Chain A
């Protein structure tokens, strides 16, 4: 009998309380983010995509894991590298694709590009600003609003480890502790801030231990293990929701691609890249885990992949068919009272 109990416990433990459907959903999201990132880069390199790209490849375990515990009313404050976290929160693939091509159906109606996308009124995600971590202080404000109204809601903010060198990162952590705000601070430590490695960004061994200086817990987690990231994030979200204040999560992975599309990232040692791609791939690792536990079989994995590819193709077609914004609307939408954002925009911009 004792064996049965511990087996049941072990079964319950590995899945962190998630149902089969939820586990399959996580696999779908991981694979969607990976596929989107790869296809977008291919289109960029073929010269078929205007603007820039900021790959989050290799960090899907962090992005999906931290965002998955959030409810619809919880807010997510991201950088332009965290599109995978926004997909996890439910952003619409078609509208994201329209955004990448500067079309009117993009979330910013062509006023911003690529992963500088957000959906505040829908999925409660911030439209990122390139200057980092500018969303950290803003997350304090959203969390303050929840606290003031006594709402059981949480703000979760993500930045890279490079942004922890910036003053406002420290300001935000300090203010969130002083006012005991319901916020979760995530640092996506992908080991390279553009070309700068961890030792040139901070002199402490980990980002997580800096939390002690502000008076709340810090946790370091392996970003290749999406369920472990999920578990840590869930605990932090519940802690914030119950009024116990902030938590700092450092999730460690590797940025597989350059800072942006133009950057070959030759500064990353080949052995490190090989190690991560072969042994610390969060998508592959989770897929194997679900196969081992027979939550999915090879046929089901194939089905998920086919669904993703067809969704991407539909998104691409949607984006190409969406009109450009009309040039005469360039000054509209600056002031709330001009009504631009409260009305349907012109669709006369053509798709040429």
Chain B
């Protein structure tokens, strides 16, 4: 019984995601991710997608809109609501030569597949020597009034399970290049797409389908001399806005975008701290034992001689992500908070 699929040619369907760029050639972060998936599926027939509502519906955020018309229901596989089994199927098919990319509707729901991710997938290669080339994609992060179960930043959970590469891009071109690298990587990769960025940030995309961004490499997104902000995900954009505002006040801020949490590019971080002598660690996972806790500890251990002031952290308090706008704004670091903290640090 063939399922009736949306007609090819209907608005937004059956078309290559590149066709959704602006006239100036810009792609949103979301379109950039779709481009990466599309191009990797065109390049390598072992690559396939699985997840909930990713076929005719095109995914909860419409990343895979149009894919089923091009690649068919076997390579754009709708599954029952069974996260453990989605991850397990990715693992088993990877063991048999496929390169699956599984989509979670929200990163929050990765907990429903947690055991397969951290107990089975993460540890398997170390224990057996069998590579597991799988990518687990999930929309993460807050700031969109989605409350406790649709705003999680789970990167510390997965970075703490050895064997998983954890990737958190902030820009469209990085998202595309890193996702393509993840699909071509032989290790399990957790690819966290910040949903606040999805449709807010766009940029001109390179056209080379083999342009990869290496996993495990941070990037200086803005050069500066007085303070280094080391950050990741949506906070990169807040940091850049704060840096621009602070430049009006004569404070020169360097913004280091980690891009990958694990493996962590300590070298780029330390080089920046050596230059500015002041380290400000900004992150969206909980302050307590969050990503920045490791970064701050690393700077303290390995970069102490460079520092003119104590390492400062800014991150959400250790509570669930709240819904009410004033509460969520109080929870998430705001641009004004960043500016105030950086000014204080620069005056130290």
Contacts and interface: CB of A to CB of B under 8 A. Distances in A.
> Are A and B interaction partners?
yes
Interface string A43-70: 0000000000000000000000000000
Contact of A141 (B90, B124, B125, B186): B90
B157 interface: no
Nearest to B86: A137
Contact of A171 (B80, B100, B163, B187): B80
Interface residues of B, number: 38
A58 B68 CA distance: 50
Contacts of B187: 335-337
Contacts of B119: 129, 131, 134
A118 B128 CA distance: 7
Interface string A223-250: 0000000000000000000000000000
A141 B163 contact: no
A142 B48 CA distance: 14
Contacts of B57: none
B97 A145 contact: yes
A171 B92 contact: no
Contact of B96 (A127, A141, A333, A341): A141
B127 interface: yes
A307 to B, nearest CB: 30
B85 A333 contact: no
Nearest to A174: B80
Contact of A137 (B88, B94, B95, B126): B88
B120 A138 contact: yes
B130 interface: yes
Contacts of A269: none
Interface in A296-347: 333-337, 340-341
- A138, A143, A145, A174 — which one has the most chain B CB atoms within 10 A of its CB? A138
B80 A175 contact: yes
A268 to B, nearest CB: 29
A139 B123 CA distance: 17
B91 interface: yes
B91 A120 contact: no
Contact of A111 (B89, B93, B126, B186): B126
Contacts of A256: none
B127 A127 contact: yes
Contacts of B244: none
Given A108-B127, A333-B125, A341-B129, A142 B80 contact: no
A148 B98 contact: yes
B126 A146 contact: no
- B89, B98, B119 — which one has the most chain A CB atoms within 10 A of its CB? B89
B127 A140 contact: no
Contacts of B91: 137-138, 141
10 contacts: A127-B124, A129-B120, A138-B91, A140-B88, A142-B93, A142-B96, A145-B92, A148-B74, A155-B92, A168-B84
Interface of B: 48, 74, 79-80, 82, 84-98, 100, 115-116, 119-120, 123-131, 162-163, 186-187
